[in-house]
Structure 1
Amino acid sequence: MTCTEPGCDGAVEDGYCTVCGTAPAATAPKAAPTSTAPMTAPTSTAPKAAPETTAPKTTAPKTTESPAARTDACAEPGCDGTISGGYCDTCGTAPAAAGTATASARTTGPGTRGSARSVRTGRSTSSKPSARGRLGAGLVDVPRVPRIHPSSAILADPMVAESKRFCGACERPVGRGREGAPGRTEGFCPNCGTRFSFAPKLSAGDLVGGQYEVVGCLAHGGLGWIYLATDRNVGNRWVVLKGLLNSGDLDAMAAAVAEKRFLAEVEHPSIVKIFNFVEHAGPDGVAVGYIVMEFVGGTSLKQILRNRRDTDGGYLPVPQAIAYILEMLPALGHLHSLGLAYCDFKPDNVMQTDEQLKLIDLGAVIAMDDQDSAIYGTIGYQAPEIAATGPTVATEVYSVGRTLAVLIMHIPQEGGHFGALPGPDAEPLLARYDSLYRFLLRATDDDPESRFASMEEVTDQLTGVLREVLSADDGSPRPGMSAYFGPPRAVFGVAAAMKPEAVVAGLPVPLVDASDSGAALLATTAGTTPEELERAFADGLRSVVTGRAESVEIPLRLVRAALDVGDPAQAERRLTELADRLPGDWRLAWYRAQAGLLAGDLAAARAEFEAVYAALPGEPAPKLALAAVAELAGDGPGAARYYDTVWRTDRAFAAAVFGLARVRRGAGDRDGAVAALDQVDRSSSLYTEARVAAVDALLAERAVAELNESVLRDAGRRVDALALDSKRRGAEVRMRVLDAALAWLSGGGAATNHAPLLGVSLDHAGVRAGLERCFRDLARESDDMWARFELVDRANAIRPRTTL
């Protein structure tokens, strides 16, 4: 839609013109902007990293034009301003269309898809708009930040703290006080002689660029002072001017120029909007550049964290912190899609207004292919290799991981900056949420190649971690679709002892990469053994290879076929042939683990499944596989931990609940085993199997001394409630209860309740009669003549004696 304002040729996106910012005359409800609360600007927590290199894209800055004038009362809650020129003269908000409620539209920018040695995504993602007040894939209720009048954010005495004054050239402290005298705000560095100045260059009433009237200082950040101003040309709407902290810092000046050139390209609802770039001569006559940005009212995540710590001494709840990070990942991905790196992601630079989050400081943004400009960032958040590699997606991922860690737990200080992450032994939070720990380990791995390859992958895995965290906190399952695995193929370990072959046959299969040249051929080819598949692929492979990239999905399918027929040696041989083509690919580890499982090498299988878990910490499939291997290896506690995590999070993995019940039963926790099996929903196809297994858990391997009437009647009620489709199965289940009852009675037990048990009285005569009926039912169902004879003999032997 083209803007209807006179003289403007901009396009309307998300309800507003991309050039003049005006909302068109509405024929349908449009969302109104929500930036009306004060800005808590980021403060530099440490000296900026030593300048590195990497040249910004160039583009002309966008300028604003005056919209049609309106003089109505502002409809924003708590605001008594009037609408002039299309915007409120108090809060700066555009009025909502008549008869419509103000809403906030949220979209997701395209993620960057990069290559990685450990993870393949094979698809694109798009986030649905979050429900109002809910972030983190719509799963988390996050406290809303109230809007505050912009003028209340103005600093009464703007000053850069002495502890944050550093030379822009050599990073040495400058402007520090001595012998009781305060430090100088302007001067020269005693180490290298570079001029420094930390005094604001603008005062209230100054007119910048002939358009922006300064109201006061809001805060200071790593690259400059931030001022609140009004835009005289656009209805006196509130804007923010960002200048240089130290005009003698040539790198800082260059960074500001870089912003001028390419930041006008950035259009994303979660990134502060750049309106203009202007220059203004300071008191010394030197022209200083200022970026004109939208006013983003609210509170930074740093301040939200500080308020939390001041209130109860703690950190942000893990779900809330994850929700904040997930909300910002599309914005970072959008920058990456433009070839830009944010470089300074940290709590200081994310602002929450109402239920919306935005990146507010673009001072460190540069092009990833820039080999000349300085790189700015904050020690403790910045990736260690950035000096050598320059900004990359991997360095951005590192900052995301560090930011999440700072929000949720104590990070030890090293030299005044955040140091190494603690481990589960030192941080109980990481011991409680193992998947969160694995996520942080991968995001902040010392090897950039081992980190997540894109913000899309970070989103996928962190969303899975969030589901696990929420389920661990309240016990409610939160299933989600996987971008990497299909559903479980079968439920292993239900009625029989668990075997490796059953585990391999039941585990989920990695999804086929739709972009692979062999994907279409796989979808139309049937076969079970590798030999059958190879014959079916013969003609198709020739056409696939010719003129196109050679398929990797077809060889992987042949590996799976070898595993399905129980041939681990052939699977290993095929995996070895693929190793050079797919170095470090997690699918090779997934199939190699299954080959080790079939070969009886549980240690090797566990190591490979651990590698997949480390690469995909938000996926349930690796945890289910690890649980099965741990159970086969006799590690009950390890198996129980993984089974419990998978089952709590996603009830589609039914093998997990049967495994959890087996492990608990083996540890003597019968009540825990029964409680787990009772969680299987009545609508599940495995409901009956779970109820039968619960009866087994109550009675099997229980000594006579451990039996009592309460246990027997509980088992009886469970069997009575079953709707079994087989008379033989019903007889077998009833026999388990009646056998236990007879043993209890024979051991001296006596019923105090005369109610029947499974339709017979709970005494010797009644229980024997019930068992006789079970044996005769089994005999009638048997196809084996000799088996029938044996069952009839047992029925005659167990029947109660009579005097007739």
Structure 2
Amino acid sequence: MTPTSRPCAERNCPGAVDQDGFCRLWGHPCDGGPPGADPQPPSLVVRPSPSSVIRPSSMVRPSSSSVVPQPSSRVPRPVPVPSREPWRPRARPWESPALIPPTRARDPLEAVLSQAVVPEHSRYCPQTTCRRRVPRVSGYCPNCGSRYSFTPPLAKGDVRAGRYRIEGCLGHGGVGWVFLARDEDMDGSWRVLKGQRNPEDREAAAAFVGERQALIALNHPRIVTITHALRPESDSDVGYLVMEYVNGGTLEDARRTIGPDGGPSAVDVPQALGYGVQILDAFEYLHDQGWLYCDLKPENVMLIGGYGPDGPLKLVDFGAARRTDNTVSPPWGTAGFEAPEVQRLGPAGPSVRSDVYTVGRTLAALTLAVSSADLRPLPVGQDLLRLPLPAPLDPFARLLARATAVEPDERFGSAAEMREQVRGVRRQVRSAADGIPRPTRSTLFSPAACAFALHADVDALDVVEIVLGLPMPLVDGNDPAAGFLASLSLAEPAELIALLGAAPEHTAEVTYRMVRAYLAAGRADEAGPLLAGIPDDRRDWSLWWHQGLVALVGADGAAARDLFGRVYGWLPGEVSARLAYAVACEVAGDHPTAAAHYRGVWETDQGVVAAAFGLARCLFVIEGPRAAATVLLTVPESSRASTVAATCAVRMLLEAPEDGHRLDAAIDAAAVVEKLPPFAERDLVEAHILRIALGSDLADGRYADRRLFGHRLDPDILRRVFERTCRSLAGHTGDRRERIALVDLANAHRPVTWW
């Protein structure tokens, strides 16, 4: 017996619910509901002030993909509470992403719509006190009698302001019709005219005026520019904005055909992050000018044609833009992209941090879903970390988690701050994908060699050495004691503690420096109490960092992991934060997690040689000595730790079981050793490698053309080389027993001869 499908309970969604509890039309989870419940797809909504009657908007998406507006309601819509249950996707679009190809420059007339009519499901009465659905394209509302029209007010051949000749309709944006025109006073240059869609829609009229005011004052290469503002020519007419024509397509349009079957697809994460950097550039400018964008989504970002896949873009459709000090006008936004406080607070909700939220949701829509319509089921904030994303995308997941945090104070404080982390995350994700390191100097951490724990002994970690070797947060220049701290010279811990005790002002930065001095002096029990006086509600990642250092020295691996995890989540683009988190995971005994993050750091910056040794230690536990040795052999010869790495790798190979690849690894190790400058243990390392070779099957045809220290892989030849090496070592050792053992080893391996 086939079960009967039930209607979706989500407001205004016309879909039905499948057996798994998901809406078949829009894909969001649904617990069902009474028959006839009004369904609702992701829509562009307006949030009136709490003091007024809350009614939804009639705004629709631009271009041909229109959106159903919300129905009339005289009660506020309940604020959604994020579920703590992990979202279980039926598909994983991020596992098969695609690159958006270069956008081609096309004939502008190709973008003209053949039939420009607002679809029936998007037609609502323009009166804010009514908002009933109206059945016809134009006429009078059967409920309140208001006049309405959902047809373009301009036709091909119409001329506005005596110079702009209309060529056709490009679509209907959030608050107005969009037309393609030629400027006859500028040799027929292409222009775009945007006017209000319905003169009777007072909310749309207010938004249109706001857009005009915003665009006139703005001048940025990532923002569409306005060239003229046309006033209404009659009482029934509307004003128009004249804007530059951006030859290209939106991000949403660009990804609709990039899938393997010619359909939509999730976008490659590094490519999407590159777009994010440009968007945040524009947002930083907007915020500096006192404006909020409020309605970022892939449909409002245009890729300029004629450039490469990472080419320039522009923000378009400023209908929702508002001044940062505007706490009166109803905010406009798109469901699924809009920050929760905007839904909850109305005009008081929009802020720089709510704009940051829309950037995070836009990146999520591009990379974690095949279309923006599939965004709403995706979790936000820390719930995002429950998605089964692959380990190389962990920094990206943490970036999105902070950008879309439910509490505004948990998000990035500015577009510039987020942009810096986006760049760092992009470097990490790209390096994990192509194996090319992309080191950079941090603006938050001191440069450090990170040459600590340079060994492969899992049980011999010196946490004090680690604490002193980790990069340290730079002193906050706004701290009153910053100048005093800069004047301090290198000193012994005891002397430094005395100097810090005489500081003119005991600020947070002085406390942090004193904590590190106490840890270096071996007085860890006195370091922890110093941090108790700093309030944790400041969301100060430097405080978490130093609490983590104290936890590491105190052998509290779980607490250190939690604290450094908070720092890493706050600064996902910083490899120093990720390195500290990897160390904490290793100390806590979670070698698989530590290995994943050590690998991410090492792939991004091979100057952080501690990450290579940490990864080797973890792989030794997880996979065995050969996997660990392979990592150490990737330490570049330019590194000061290359000799130590090669020595550790060879010793690991001696302990590796015979798996058919030991000789390959030994030959690779020999090639590394040959490139190193002379070092004291070279004969010993060569002897180890030669023993591995002599214990392998040298008759295997795969090695016919291979060389070991310049010699053919002939048993007799390698025995003679090994004999000479052992005798050389015996001649340089002062230990009689060791010398006798080396001579015996040389005699045991020398080839059999008649003399």
State if a TM-score over 0.5 links the two structures. yes
Q: Which has the higher contact order (CA 8 A, sep 6+)?
A: 1
After superposition, residues 253-652 of structure 1 pair within 5 angstroms as 253-281=205-233, 285-309=235-259, 311-354=262-305, 355-387=311-343, 388=345, 389-410=348-369, 418-421=376-379, 429=389, 432-495=392-455, 497-528=460-491, 532-533=495-496, 535-536=498-499, 541-542=503-504, 551-579=507-535, 583-652=538-607
1:159 to 111, 114, 117: 117
Residue identity in the other structure for 1:398: Y
1:772–1:795 contact (8 Å) kept in structure 2: yes
2:150–2:197 contact (8 Å) kept in structure 1: yes
1:698–1:715 contact (8 Å) kept in structure 2: no
2:266–2:366 contact (8 Å) kept in structure 1: yes
Residue identity in the other structure for 1:397: V
Which deviations, in whole Å up to 9, do the C-alpha atoms of 1:111-142 show, x marking residues without a partner? xxxxxxxxxxxxxxxxxxxxxxxxxxxxx996
Residue identity in the other structure for 2:442: S
- CA distance 1:563–1:757, change in 2 (3 Å): same
Measure how far apart 1:551 and its partner are: 4.7
Deviates more, 1:715-724 or 1:143-152: 715-724
CA distance in 2, matches of 1:519, 1:641: 36
> Which residue number corresponds to residue 217 of structure 1?
169
1:559–1:574 contact (8 Å) kept in structure 2: yes
1:214–1:227 contact (8 Å) kept in structure 2: yes
Question: Which consecutive unaligned segments of at least 5 residues does structure 2 have?
Answer: 1-40, 52-97, 306-310
Measure how far apart 1:569 and its partner are: 2.7
CA distance in 2, matches of 1:277, 1:775: 91
1:203–1:214 contact (8 Å) kept in structure 2: yes
CA distance in 2, matches of 1:431, 1:200: 50
CA distance in 2, matches of 1:790, 1:276: 93
1:45–1:164 contact (8 Å) kept in structure 2: no
After superposition, residues 37-56 of structure 1 pair within 5 angstroms as 46-52=43-49
CA distance in 2, matches of 1:300, 1:719: 50
- CA distance 1:52–1:198, change in 2 (3 Å): farther
2:176–2:195 contact (8 Å) kept in structure 1: yes
**TM-score w.r.t. length of structure 2:** 0.76
CA distance in 2, matches of 1:756, 1:644: 29
Deviates more, 1:392-401 or 1:215-224: 215-224
1:489–1:505 contact (8 Å) kept in structure 2: no
After superposition, residues 633-712 of structure 1 pair within 5 angstroms as 633-700=588-655, 702=656, 710=663
Percent pairwise identity:
34
> Which residue number corresponds to residue 201 of structure 1?
153
**TM-score w.r.t. length of structure 1:** 0.72
After superposition, residues 65-104 of structure 1 pair within 5 angstroms as none
CA distance in 2, matches of 1:411, 1:152: 25
Which deviations, in whole Å up to 9, do the C-alpha atoms of 1:577-621 show, x marking residues without a partner? 2226x7220111111111101001000000001101111111111
CA distance in 2, matches of 1:469, 1:219: 37
> Which residue number corresponds to residue 129 of structure 1?
none
Count of residues in correspondence between the two structures: 644
> Which residue number corresponds to residue 185 of structure 1?
138
- CA distance 1:343–1:770, change in 2 (3 Å): closer
Measure how far apart 1:156 and its partner are: 2.4
Question: Which consecutive unaligned segments of at least 5 residues does structure 1 have?
Answer: 1-43, 55-139, 178-182, 780-787
2:166–2:182 contact (8 Å) kept in structure 1: yes
CA distance in 2, matches of 1:573, 1:308: 57
Measure how far apart 1:767 and its partner are: 5.8
Which deviations, in whole Å up to 9, do the C-alpha atoms of 1:485-519 show, x marking residues without a partner? 22334312224633212221221111223343333
2:690–2:718 contact (8 Å) kept in structure 1: no
SS at match of 1:228: strand
CA distance in 2, matches of 1:492, 1:241: 62
Residue identity in the other structure for 2:578: K
Residue identity in the other structure for 1:315: A
CA distance in 1, matches of 2:584, 2:466: 9
CA distance in 2, matches of 1:732, 1:516: 53
- CA distance 1:259–1:229, change in 2 (3 Å): same
- CA distance 1:763–1:249, change in 2 (3 Å): closer
Residue identity in the other structure for 2:554: A
SS at match of 2:247: coil
> Which residue number corresponds to residue 230 of structure 1?
182
Measure how far apart 1:208 and its partner are: 2.8
Which deviations, in whole Å up to 9, do the C-alpha atoms of 1:439-497 show, x marking residues without a partner? 11111111111011111111111111111221122122122232222233431222463
Measure how far apart 1:146 and its partner are: 2.0
Measure how far apart 1:527 and its partner are: 4.3
SS at match of 2:327: coil
After superposition, residues 119-198 of structure 1 pair within 5 angstroms as 143-168=101-126, 174-175=132-133, 177=135, 183-188=136-141, 190=143, 195-198=147-150
CA distance in 2, matches of 1:670, 1:739: 16
SS at match of 1:385: helix
SS at match of 2:579: helix
SS at match of 1:242: strand
- CA distance 1:417–1:693, change in 2 (3 Å): closer
> Which residue number corresponds to residue 22 of structure 1?
none
Deviates more, 1:385-394 or 1:219-228: 385-394
1:750–1:763 contact (8 Å) kept in structure 2: no
2:365–2:371 contact (8 Å) kept in structure 1: no
CA distance in 1, matches of 2:600, 2:483: 36
1:48–1:222 contact (8 Å) kept in structure 2: no
Residue identity in the other structure for 1:261: Q
Which deviations, in whole Å up to 9, do the C-alpha atoms of 1:516-575 show, x marking residues without a partner? 333333222124456533543577x43xx5xxxx85433322222223333333322221
CA distance in 2, matches of 1:757, 1:287: 86
- CA distance 1:531–1:776, change in 2 (3 Å): closer
1:695–1:718 contact (8 Å) kept in structure 2: no
Deviates more, 1:308-317 or 1:394-403: 308-317
SS at match of 1:345: coil
- CA distance 1:245–1:558, change in 2 (3 Å): same
CA distance in 1, matches of 2:325, 2:142: 32
2:519–2:550 contact (8 Å) kept in structure 1: yes
- CA distance 1:609–1:156, change in 2 (3 Å): same
SS at match of 2:230: strand
